[in-house]
Amino acid sequence: MQAAVYRGVNDVRVETVPVPRIGPGEVLLQVMTCGVCGTDLKKIHTGSHSAPRIFGHETAGLIAAVGEGVYDFEIGDRVSVFHHVPCGDCYYCRKKTFAQCPAYKNVGCTAGFEPSGGGFAEYVRVMDWIVRSGLVKVPSDVPFEQAAFIEPLNTTYKGVRSLRLEPDETVLVIGQGPIGILLATLAKRTGAKVVTSDLHPQRHSVARTYGLEHPIDASSEDVVARIREETEGRGADAVLLAVGGNALIPTAINAARPGGRIMLFAQTQHGEASFDPAVVCMDEKTLMGSYSSSAAIQEEGVRIVVDGYTNGYDLTRLISHRFPLSRAAEAIAFASEPHPDSMKIMIEPGS
């Protein structure tokens, strides 16, 4: 089969590799589509993970084979897959901090080499514990591209839920790429007023199709001043930072009202960042983080995606570019240098 193999820092090559063999309790998934996620890009560009590997985890496709003992799935089933599943029993699972569970940190999907998701390939081996808890059936009227958003929607929904938003609150979402729009639309479902910020009018145009009607043009406006205008001088009750790096952390903190909450959603690289500690102590602002998915909301997140396709929440509109697997290296390079009109990038082995 063909696969996009990570061979080292900034080195991804489309190669011929063996189709993975499955064992008892496992399934073989034929990949129809897979989203390019920022965490995959970070690993490719920083060399944080050893080579060779096959990345890709926002995966949807068809079951091509089932192992002995698999009774809940059969060949031809349309599915999406979570590549991490918590144990459900450890200290972190009891505290519902699933992403910190030692078992959760084990990747249960591979197209070969060290398990790393495998969605940038024609076929993926889904291991037994993922089959039991992380493999999701997709109805026939829901496109694979919509289903590929099940995992990223779960991660964003987890972040929004942790803010405990109320209908009388104002939320600022900084960044209107696909993740920012997911965060903003899910925040809007709570009844809160959602204000969005981005440098590019093209992204605000996409956001507007999802009912996000309070944009800030960060290329020409002072974001902090504008959000204070929207809130009688207070600042936002909650701020979601959906832009990577640390440069906008001070903006996010300053945009929050005294007693407000600041969610760092895209800060996945270790390092140091400066902020005024008095805004946490004296201004009583809460600095929060959210990472990866939550098993506690898996069923609800799936319903939002599945039901949403026929109820006006068509997430395929977030897709701006589609690449066949043969052009996977080009897709990764393109996704690594976002353009004003680029949103979600998909690699589609099934095309």
pLDDT of amino acid 13:
97
Pair 331, 251 in one domain: no
Instruction: Flag whether 295 is in a domain.
Output: no
How does residue 338 score in pLDDT terms, banded at 50, 70 and 90?
confident
Pair 62, 176 in one domain: no
Kind and range of the H or E run holding 125: strand 123-126
Q: What is the mean pLDDT of residues 282-303?
A: 97
Pair 259, 320 in one domain: no
End-of-domain residue from the set 240, 273, 289: 289
Instruction: Flag whether 297 is in a domain.
Output: no
Instruction: Flag whether 308 is in a domain.
Output: no
Distances (CA, A) of 121 to 114, 300, 343: 14, 29, 22
Pair 219, 119 in one domain: no
pLDDT of amino acid 83:
97
Give the chain's length.
Answer: 351
Instruction: Flag whether 202 is in a domain.
Output: yes
Pair 165, 267 in one domain: yes
Q: What is the mean pLDDT of residues 293-317?
A: 97
Pair 70, 119 in one domain: yes
Pair 338, 242 in one domain: no
Please report the DSSP string for 84-98 in residue order: ----SSSHHHHTT-G
pLDDT in tens, 164-179: 999 999 999 999 999 9
Pair 119, 223 in one domain: no
pLDDT in tens, 102-138: 999 999 999 999 999 999 999 999 999 999 999 999 9
Non-local (6+) Cβ contacts of 228 within 8 A are: 234, 235, 255
What tokens appear for 189 in the block?
């479902």
Pair 8, 128 in one domain: yes
Pair 242, 273 in one domain: yes
pLDDT in tens, 196-218: 999 999 999 999 999 999 999 99
Q: pLDDT at residue 350 above 80?
A: no
Q: pLDDT at residue 339 above 90?
A: no
pLDDT in tens, 263-285: 999 999 999 999 999 999 999 99
User: C-alpha dihedral over 43, 129, 94, 156, to 10 degrees?
Assistant: 40
| CA–CA separation, 123 and 111 (whole Å) | 6
Q: What percent of the chain has pLDDT over 90?
A: 98
What tokens appear for 112 in the block?
């070969």
308 neighbors 314 (Cβ within 8 angstroms): yes
Instruction: Flag whether 30 is in a domain.
Output: yes
Q: What is the CATH number of the domain that holds 326?
A: 3.90.180.10
Kind and range of the H or E run holding 30: strand 27-35
Instruction: Flag whether 144 is in a domain.
Output: no
What tokens appear for 168 in the block?
């009388």
| CA–CA separation, 117 and 223 (whole Å) | 37
Instruction: List b or e across 313-348, with b for residues whose CB sees 16 or more CB atoms inside 10 angstroms.
Output: bebbebbbbebebebbbebbebbeeeeeebbbbbbb
pLDDT of amino acid 177:
97
Pair 245, 318 in one domain: no
Q: What is the CATH number of the domain that holds 202?
A: 3.40.50.720
Instruction: Flag whether 339 is in a domain.
Output: yes
Pair 104, 33 in one domain: yes
Q: Side chain identity at 166, as an amino acid letter? A: E
Radius of gyration for the alpha carbons in the chain, expressed in angstroms and rounded: 20
- The domain of 265 spans 157-289
Kind and range of the H or E run holding 348: strand 344-348
pLDDT of amino acid 68:
98
Instruction: Flag whether 305 is in a domain.
Output: no
pLDDT of amino acid 331:
97
Give the number of domains in the chain: 2
